[in-house]
Amino acid sequence: MKNLLQKSLRQLTIFAFIVFLLSIPSYLFLVDWIWLKELDENNELTAQRIENEFNEQNISDEKLTESIQFWNEIQPVSRIEFTAQPFLKDSFYTIRRQNPYSAKESVDRFRGLKTNIEINNQNYILIVETNVEETEETVGYIAMVTLLFFLILVIGFWILNRKLSKKLWQPFQDTLQKLKSFELNNQQRIDFQTTDTIEFAELNATLDKLLQHSIITYKSQKEFTENASHELQTPLAVLKNKLDILLQSDDLTERQYHIAEEMNKALIRSSRTNKNLLLLAKIENNQFDNSEFIRFDSLLYQSIEGLQEHFREKNIDIEIDINSDITVKGNIGLTEVLINNLLVNAVRHTLVGSSMQVILSQSGFEVRNSGEKELNADLLFKRFSKLSEDNSGSGLGLSIIDEICKLHHWKVNYQFENNYHIFSVHF
């Protein structure tokens, strides 16, 4: 991952490099156009100078013919020819040919002018050609110098960005570090660093307002959880106690007894659901400390021992592969709930006379139980989702497992292989 300034500077560098590449042909056409324009002006001045110099000689026509012939011999890139019909317009052209002044073979570019001159009141055509310096070489030097300054500019930007970003983004980094260390259950406000940057000041003000609201909401939820834990459990316990007394009465008819028994079952389920919902609320509100070290293998053996009666009742053959001295960091109460929920869930959905496997290693905990078809993994850990016809559960067991794993930063998975449901928790 890259920080924000590096990403923006990289895009600017790429854009600047593209502009630099596009500038090279622009230099080429611009320099060539300027040179050709200057050469055209120079050729026009040369033509005027030649015309004036011949006229200033005041020589006869015979002598003029000899002079022009001599001129054409000593000027290989310029010549004068007699014409009876003068041009209406001067002609400029560019030609490539062997340079007559070069001893070795060298094809150069020449800029030429074909124009009318008048000598001794006679019309002549004057052709003047001037060697054009190679534009590519000049543009190459210009491009090299431009590239040098481009590299200096980019390197300077990167160095300044590295130095300035630490200073400019220091308030943001301070805010980020304080947010990372913030814990809602401590209920302590964050004192953000004072900054004169408008964007960071607005960010800190918004975060402060948001955190204050979160703290107030957390306090309200925590108070509700604590109040519900006391206020709801007490009347449920009283109702259950009254129902137990009623069920022990000898005056009940058989029909009244069945009604009271159904009420008692519904009350037990309501009490269990209430406890599970309160537990979920406490987990989500981070009301549990998960910093103690737990002997996971010891807790697992205790839970298996406590469920022996259920194993015998359904004639379940349980296979155990538990490594010793497996220590994890977390909350011992919630870890015990996680183990019990996984084991009870497996027992509840294992057919009579089938088998179960419990595996514990340094990397995780796994429970396997036989089954006939795969469960819907999308609904598996959702609250009150019913994936079987067994209604004895509250529908919150797997949801509690999922929340406990999130609290401990563990990962819970479900698979169905070889007619076995596999629930695994990776530490």
8 A C-beta contact, residue 42 and residue 130? yes
| CATH number of the domain where residue 393 is located | 3.30.565.10
8 A C-beta contact, residue 407 and residue 283? yes
Report the distance separating Cα 333 and Cα 314, nearest Å. 27
Low-confidence winner among 42-46, 251-255, 304-308 (lowest mean pLDDT): 251-255
27 three-class SS: helix
pLDDT value of position 328: 92
Q: Which of 141, 159, 184 is the last residue of a domain?
A: 141
pLDDT value of position 413: 92
Question: Would you say how long the chain is, in residues?
Answer: 427
pLDDT value of position 411: 94
Helices (H) and strands (E) in the chain, counts: 10, 11
Q: Has residue 284 got a pLDDT over 80?
A: no
- The verdict on 359 and 396 lying in the same domain is yes
Q: Assess if residue 252 is contained within a domain.
A: yes
pLDDT value of position 364: 93
Confidence of residue 138 (pLDDT cuts 50, 70, 90): confident
CA-CA distances (angstroms) from residue 78 to 49, 59, 321?
A: 13, 21, 105
Low-confidence winner among 130-134, 208-212, 390-394 (lowest mean pLDDT): 390-394
- The verdict on 418 and 311 lying in the same domain is yes
Q: Assess if residue 305 is contained within a domain.
A: yes
Tell me what the mean pLDDT of segment 378-390 comes to. Answer: 69
Q: Assess if residue 183 is contained within a domain.
A: no
Structure tokens at 180: 């990372």
* Residue partners of 198: CB distance under 8 A and separation at least 6: none
Q: Has residue 185 got a pLDDT over 70?
A: no
Look at the block and give the residue holding tokens 């060298």: 106
Q: Using CA atoms of 202, 207, 208, 210 in order, give the dihedral in degrees to the nearest 10.
A: 130
Q: Which of 51, 129, 140 is nearest to 96 (CA)?
A: 129
Q: Assess if residue 169 is contained within a domain.
A: no
Q: Please, what is the average pLDDT of the chain?
A: 83
Q: Has residue 250 got a pLDDT over 70?
A: yes
Structure tokens at 409: 């930063």
pLDDT value of position 390: 55
Q: Is the CA virtual torsion 382, 385, 386, 392 positive or negative?
A: positive
Q: Assess if residue 263 is contained within a domain.
A: yes
Q: Has residue 303 got a pLDDT over 70?
A: yes
Q: Which of 136, 133, 135, 114 is nearest to 125 (CA)?
A: 114
Report the distance separating Cα 414 and Cα 423, nearest Å. 5
CA-CA distances (angstroms) from residue 359 to 21, 308, 323, 324?
A: 65, 17, 8, 11
8 A C-beta contact, residue 348 and residue 311? no
CA-CA distances (angstroms) from residue 311 to 60, 134, 303, 349, 416?
A: 138, 97, 12, 12, 22
pLDDT value of position 7: 66
Confidence of residue 88 (pLDDT cuts 50, 70, 90): confident
| CATH number of the domain where residue 36 is located | 3.30.450
Q: Has residue 243 got a pLDDT over 90?
A: no
Q: Has residue 387 got a pLDDT over 60?
A: no
Q: Assess if residue 153 is contained within a domain.
A: no
Q: Assess if residue 223 is contained within a domain.
A: yes
pLDDT (tens digit per residue) in 336-349: 999 999 999 889 88
Q: Has residue 80 got a pLDDT over 80?
A: yes
8 A C-beta contact, residue 378 and residue 338? no
Confidence of residue 393 (pLDDT cuts 50, 70, 90): low
Pairing of strands 317-322, 107-119: unpaired
* % of the chain with per-residue pLDDT over 70: 92
pLDDT value of position 3: 64
83 three-class SS: coil
pLDDT value of position 388: 56
- The verdict on 253 and 279 lying in the same domain is yes
| CATH number of the domain where residue 253 is located | 1.20.58
Confidence of residue 389 (pLDDT cuts 50, 70, 90): low
Tell me what the mean pLDDT of segment 138-150 comes to. Answer: 80
Q: Which of 284, 306, 331 is the last residue of a domain?
A: 284
- Which one of 210-214, 231-235, 394-398 scores highest in mean pLDDT? 210-214
- The verdict on 11 and 129 lying in the same domain is yes
Q: Assess if residue 137 is contained within a domain.
A: yes
Confidence of residue 288 (pLDDT cuts 50, 70, 90): confident
Residues spanned by the domain of 339: 292-426
- The verdict on 321 and 274 lying in the same domain is no
294 residue type, one letter: I
pLDDT value of position 392: 55
- The verdict on 297 and 272 lying in the same domain is no
* % of the chain with per-residue pLDDT over 90: 21
Confidence of residue 2 (pLDDT cuts 50, 70, 90): low
Tell me what the mean pLDDT of segment 370-394 comes to. Answer: 71
- The verdict on 19 and 77 lying in the same domain is yes
- The verdict on 219 and 244 lying in the same domain is yes
Q: Which of 168, 156, 153, 100 is nearest to 130 (CA)?
A: 100
- The verdict on 278 and 304 lying in the same domain is no
Q: Which of 141, 170, 189 is the last residue of a domain?
A: 141
8 A C-beta contact, residue 200 and residue 172? yes
Q: Of residues 427 and 84, which shows the higher confidence score?
A: 427
Structural domain total, the chain: 3
* List of long-range contacts for 350-355, beta carbons under 8 Å, 24+ apart: 350/314, 350/316, 351/314, 352/314, 352/315, 352/316, 353/314, 353/315, 353/316, 354/316, 354/317, 355/316, 355/317, 355/318, 355/319
Confidence of residue 335 (pLDDT cuts 50, 70, 90): very high
8 A C-beta contact, residue 121 and residue 86? no
CA atoms within 13 A on the CB side of 7: 4
- The verdict on 296 and 280 lying in the same domain is no
- The verdict on 315 and 405 lying in the same domain is yes
- The verdict on 228 and 131 lying in the same domain is no
384 three-class SS: coil
Q: Of residues 390 and 327, which shows the higher confidence score?
A: 327
